[in-house]
Amino acid sequence: ARYPDRPHNAEALIVDPATGIPYILTKEQEGAAQVFRFPERPAPSPESVMLVHVGELPPEIRIVTGADVSPDGLRLLVRTYVGIHEFTRSPSEPFEALFSASPCAIDPASEPQGEAISYAEGDGAIYTISEGPFPPIHRASCVR
C-alpha cells in the first residue's frame, strides 16, 4: 500500500468493525497525526493499493504509538508516548466521524514511554503497556 502524498511513519492500525476496512493513524514528529484508509474495493495487487486520506487528529495528537476501536465501533482510543485520548461517536454517525470528534483525555498509567493500548472485552476497561524490558501491563477503567 502507498500513501497518496508522501511516505509516513505509522504504528497504529485499526479496523472498522462494521465494514472490515482498515485505517492507519500516522506517527508525525511535526504536525497532527494523519488518518488514511484502505480503499473499499480490493486492488489487483498489494503494491497498487493507494490509501485514501480521510482526515487528521487534533494538532496536539502527533506521535501516535497505538490505537484500538471498541467492538461496537463507537469509541476510539489513541495512545501517544505521554497521553491517551478517547474519541466517541453516536450510532447514527459514520465511522469516520470518530476522527473529527473532540477527544477526551484519559490519565495514563505511570509509564516511561507509552506504546500500546487496547479495550478490554465487555466492561470498557483499557489495557496499556510501555516500552522497555519486562514492562507491566496496566488495566484501568474508562470513566464516562
Residues of the chain with pLDDT under 50: none
What pLDDT sits at residue 79? 92
- The sign one gets for the Cα dihedral 56, 69, 88, 40 is positive
Output the furthest CA–CA distance in the chain (Å, rounded): 46
What pLDDT sits at residue 142? 62
* Topology, domain 10-140: Neuraminidase (2.120.10)
Dist. CA 144–CA 2, nearest whole Å: 37
Dist. CA 40–CA 53, nearest whole Å: 13
pTM: 0.89
What pLDDT sits at residue 114? 78
Dist. CA 109–CA 79, nearest whole Å: 12
80, with CB counted inside 10 A (0-12, 13-18, 19+), is buried
The residues spanned by each domain of the chain are 10-140
What pLDDT sits at residue 7? 92
What pLDDT sits at residue 106? 80
Dist. CA 70–CA 76, nearest whole Å: 6
What pLDDT sits at residue 143? 54
DSSP one-letter code for 103: P
Is 69 within 8 Å of 23 (Cβ atoms)? Answer: no
Is 52 within 8 Å of 4 (Cβ atoms)? Answer: yes
Helix H segments across 57-128? Answer: none
What pLDDT sits at residue 9? 93
